[in-house]
Amino acid sequence: MSAAKDSEPRKRQRIQQPGRPTPSFSDGGYFTVSSAPVKIAGSKQQIIQTLLRFEAYHTWNNFVPQVTDIEGLDRAADGGSNGGVRVGTKFTMHARLFASLPCLTKETAEEVTVINEDAGKVAWGPVTKTAERVHLVTEADYGTCNYESYITFQKTPTNVAVRWLLPLALQMRFDEWAADLKAAVEAQNW
């Protein structure tokens, strides 16, 4: 390899084993699936607000078109900017694992574990504590932000099956989520 090739930064693997650390799992985990990073014309606050307004997912999110059973909202705490979602808010996500089979959904009970707007980090995971999804928003240039997300799974029998049967499907759906988020943020009149 040439010296120029050796000095180029390496792209992060989108399916990693062992997994990347998360706020709840500092040692990482069994494996991680990441979205492709996207640049969004919007502020960190706008992107985080869109992520946390679970009641509006049906308007923009094709991977998770429905969020129900939202508990623990506190609309006074954040002035309503995040829809009242706070650390500890619980909800049920209805995920479509395969775009070609919209009637096939998987419901998971989730809990918000991190909301740090200054750091541009939001995280949540199943109430069973078997995984954690992290959303990272970093300011870029000219009123844009970079967005990426990843989920780190802990080693359980179910997650071993997910690792070997579904990682590419999850990766594709996370990429679609990122594209849908970009379209939703950029379409709003802030």
Q: List Cβ<8 Å contacts ≥24 apart for 49-53.
A: 49/81, 49/82, 49/83, 50/181, 50/184, 50/185, 50/188, 51/122, 51/135, 51/181, 52/82, 52/83, 52/85, 52/112, 52/115, 52/122, 53/82, 53/83, 53/85
Domain regions of the chain by residue span = 33-185
CA-closest candidate to residue 186, choices 53, 47, 48: 47
User: Residue 14: left (phi > 0), alpha (psi -120 to 50), or beta?
Assistant: alpha
The conformation of residue 189, written as its DSSP 8-state character, comes to: -
Read off the pLDDT of residues 54-68 as tens digits, 9 standing for 90 and up.
999 999 999 999 999
The three-state secondary structure class of 85 is coil
pLDDT tens digits, residue range 71-110?
A: 988 877 666 678 789 999 999 999 998 888 888 889 999 9
| Of 14 and 25, the one with more pLDDT | 25
Which pLDDT score is estimated for 11?
Answer: 53
Question: What is the Cα–Cα distance from 83 to 98, expressed in whole angstroms?
Answer: 28
Selected from 2.40.240.10, 3.90.226.10, 3.30.530.20, 2.60.40.650, the CATH number assigned to the domain covering 33-185 reads 3.30.530.20
User: How far is 167 from 16, CA to CA, in rounded Å?
Assistant: 10
> Is residue 126 over pLDDT 60?
yes
Per-residue pLDDT tens digits for 139-190: 999 999 999 999 999 999 999 999 999 999 999 999 999 999 999 999 986 5
